[in-house]
Amino acid sequence: MIAPTSRRLAAILAADVAGYSALIGADEDGTVRTLKEHQAVVFPLIAQFGGRVIDTAGDGIMAEFGSVVSAVECALLLQSTIADRNKDVPAARRLAYRIGVNLGDVIFDEHRIYGDGVNIAARLESLAEAGGICISGKVHDEIKRKIEVSYHDLGYQNLKNISEPVQVLRIYRGNTPGDNNTQTSNPQQPIRRDRLHRFPLPASSRGVIQKSGTFVATACFVVGLIWLLRTPGTLTGLPATIIPHDAGVAKKALDLNTVPFVSDFSRKVLRENYLPGKDIKAFAISFVGLGIATGKESEASATSQALDQCQRANSALKCEVFAIGDTVVSGRDKPPLPPQPWVPSRHSTLQDFDVSLLPFGNEDVRTAIRGNFGSGDAQKALAISPLGKYSYYWSQSSTDEAVRRTLEMCGDEYGLPCRILAINSSFVLPVPETMRVTGFFNPEIEARVAIASRPSLKQKFGARNDWSAVATGVAGLPGFASGQSSEASAIAEAKRLCGEVDLDCRIIAISDFSVAPR
């Protein structure tokens, strides 16, 4: 009996490397190595946006998403990430993706998807420039009031093996130089400014409470904050302002337990001074500051004074009004956080924190972290983002506070959960020393693992502890070791287990990281 055809509506992202054949011809080993390193960043990024990698033949990537907005946001971040990685690479050696995104009905089975929806995405990709993105008219209809992009409408195109013409648009974050035909897809929305790159902030170590009806407070702490590109490069500039609250956002009742970024001390000030304060009142926050105004004659004066007091707490960061009275007015979502426990228990000896072992970044990155986080007072925590950028706080009132605030700040910047890498003077996430880190490891989409083996490896990998390692052989059958006391024992055990089911076994992951030989 023939099974009925299964269909669903999906957003399809198709990508390949522009000029790949020429790059291979010029330097086969180097091109393949760079491609694998790109994939080690791109595959986890796709998964973070809820995508599923369907095919990775050659230099290509085909992925499906349940949300077209997620697919386009993923494509935009993917291109900006690869552009960052290419900054210091000679133009003739850069691996740049072309991307096409389509929304359409697809036929699917357990492992693959088929149909015109997929084919159109592939054709759109072929029309994109190196480092660019082409979308179909259907995609544009869905994102035009949800994502701030600029676009160049190429009109209706006859695509190979597609019966009907398809509207094609090139999209960009902002106008491209020299493109007078570029339009803005959503002129009504305010532009979300790029807030991903940060610079070390000066120390702030004071708390002030004024009794005249206006309060400003910062915990007695020193805050360190730095965002560093995964590829070699220079430190980036000062942050843009925190997004002002949107007057059109649905209001909700204030719950102090959900106020992000503030220290435990500031939360105490809010509880003891703001909540019982007389209306009209407001408070403002930044990553390090808090400003409170109570007993004012109008909302305008309350918000103005709260912002002013917050700004005085630390002038390096702009503030936003979070609440007026007992109502939240900020349009900011709660930062995404990883599942608990944020710091897994370890039975083996913890590695001492060593800047030279940081899995991502160049010497500038290591020097900055050595001079800020490395020399900062406890209690402190260092987090790493899904794309290999670091953030940290130090001199907090407790380890728990350092961990929470670091994860909140990191998650807010990316819209993606981050991970704690180090606390005080120790790594809490095992960092490979004998092999080179190429990215984060995700068993669901790892091309070197056989498709049929991925679900069981995902389950085992999710329960890993202490030192762990993954090895695969020629058939992609994995050997997984966990709960080991050292990197060497994890490697040996993973190879042994792999050798029981496969041939020519090699280590592809240690701890949370994809790895390659040094």
Q: 308 or 492, which is more confident?
A: 492
3-state secondary structure of 64: strand
Q: Which of 125, 157, 184 is the last residue of a domain?
A: 184
Asked whether the beta carbons of 219 and 236 are under 8 A apart, the reply is no
- Span 350-359, average pLDDT: 92
* β-sheet bridge partners, residue 121: none
- Cα–Cα–Cα angle for 220, 235, 322, rounded to 5 degrees: 45
Q: List the beta bridge partners of residue 478.
A: 472
> Are both 180 and 267 inside the same structural domain?
no
197 and 320 share one domain: yes
Structural domain ending residue among the three candidates 150, 184, 218: 184
Whether residues 415 and 440 share a domain: the answer is no
Grade residue 111 by pLDDT with cuts at 50, 70 and 90: low
Provide the strand spans (E) within 173-313.
Answer: 183-184, 214-216, 252-253, 282-285, 290-293
What H or E segment, with its residue span, contains residue 345?
Answer: none
Please check whether residue 1 lies inside any domain of the structure. Answer: no
290 beta partners: 285
Same-domain check for residues 363 and 443: no
Q: How many helices (H) and strands (E) does the chain have?
A: 11, 24
CA–CA gap between residue 115 and residue 137 (Å, rounded): 18
**What CATH number corresponds to the domain at position 33?**
3.30.70.1230
Residue 316 confidence (pLDDT): 59
Distance CA 13, CA 56 (A): 12
Check pLDDT > 60 for residue 224: no
In a domain, 444, yes or no: yes
The number of folded domains in the chain is: 3
User: Which of residues 428, 445, 480 is at a domain's end?
Assistant: 428
Q: Which pLDDT tens digit goes with each residue over 358-369?
A: 998 778 888 888
Distance CA 356, CA 349 (A): 19
Please determine, for residue 480, whether its predicted confidence score (pLDDT) is greater than 90.
yes
Of 139 and 416, the structure prediction assigns the larger pLDDT to 139
Is residue 221 included in any domain, yes or no? yes
- Helices assigned H by DSSP within 49-149: 68-85, 116-127, 137-143
Amino acid at 178: G
Helix axes 28-48, 68-85, angle to 10 degrees: 140
407 near 428, Cβ under 8 Å? no
**β-strands 133-136, 97-108: how paired?**
parallel
Average pLDDT over every residue of 457-482 = 95
Answer yes or no: do 364 and 253 share one domain. Answer: yes
Position 5 scores a pLDDT of 57
Residue 2 forms part of a structural domain: no
Measure CA 51 to chain center.
Answer: 14
- Domain with 304, as residue range(s), is 193-428
Nearest to 350 by CA among 514, 462, 469, 485: 485
Give the pLDDT confidence score for residue 333 in this predicted structure: 67
Which one has a higher pLDDT value, 31 or 184?
31
Task: Say which range, 52-56, 190-194, 324-328, 503-507, has the weakest mean pLDDT.
Answer: 190-194
- 171, β-bridge pairs: 133, 151
What's the mean pLDDT in 151-169? 85
Q: How far is CA 281 from CA 257, 289, 475, in A?
A: 19, 17, 66
Q: Give me the sign of the Cα torsion angle 40, 52, 24, 121.
A: negative
Could you give the strand order of the β-sheet that contains 506-510, starting from the edge strand earlier in sequence?
A: 436-440, 513-516, 506-510, 467-472, 478-484
Residue with tokens 């609250």: 245
How sure is the predictor about 243, in pLDDT bands with cuts at 50, 70 and 90? very low
**Alpha-carbon span 143 to 158, nearest angstrom:** 23
Residue 440, C-beta contacts closer than 8 angstroms, at least 6 positions apart: 40, 41, 44, 386, 512, 513, 514
Task: Answer yes or no: do 417 and 510 share one domain.
Answer: no
Encode pLDDT of 423-468 as tens digits: 999 999 999 999 999 888 889 888 889 999 999 999 999 999 999 9
pLDDT value, residue 402: 93
Whether residues 224 and 142 share a domain: the answer is no
Q: pLDDT tens-digit profile of 283-336?
A: 999 887 788 999 999 999 999 999 988 887 665 577 889 999 999 998 766 788
The predicted model gives 247-263 an average pLDDT of 78
DSSP per position, 11-57 = EEEEEEETTHHHHHHH-HHHHHHHHHHHHHHHHHHHHHTT-EEEE--
Query: Is residue 95, in this structure, part of any structural domain at all?
Result: yes
Cα dihedral value 159, 161, 165, 167, nearest 10: -50
On whether both 481 and 420 belong to a single domain, the answer is no
- Report which of residues 203 and 404 the model is more confident about: 404
Taken as a whole, the chain contains a residue count of 518
What pLDDT score was predicted for residue 15? 93
Q: Are residues 406 and 453 in the same domain?
A: no
- Residue 158 counted as domain residue: yes
Residue 273 lies in a domain: yes
**122 and 251 inside one domain:** no
Q: Between the CA of residue 44 and those of 132, 340, 366, what are the distances in Å?
A: 20, 20, 24
Q: What is the pTM of this model?
A: 0.57
Do 200 and 178 share a structural domain?
no
Does residue 233 share a domain with residue 172? no
What sign results for the dihedral spanned by CA atoms 193, 195, 199, 202?
A: positive
Please tell me which residue, 226 or 295, carries the higher pLDDT value. 295
Please tell me which residue, 405 or 40, carries the higher pLDDT value: 405
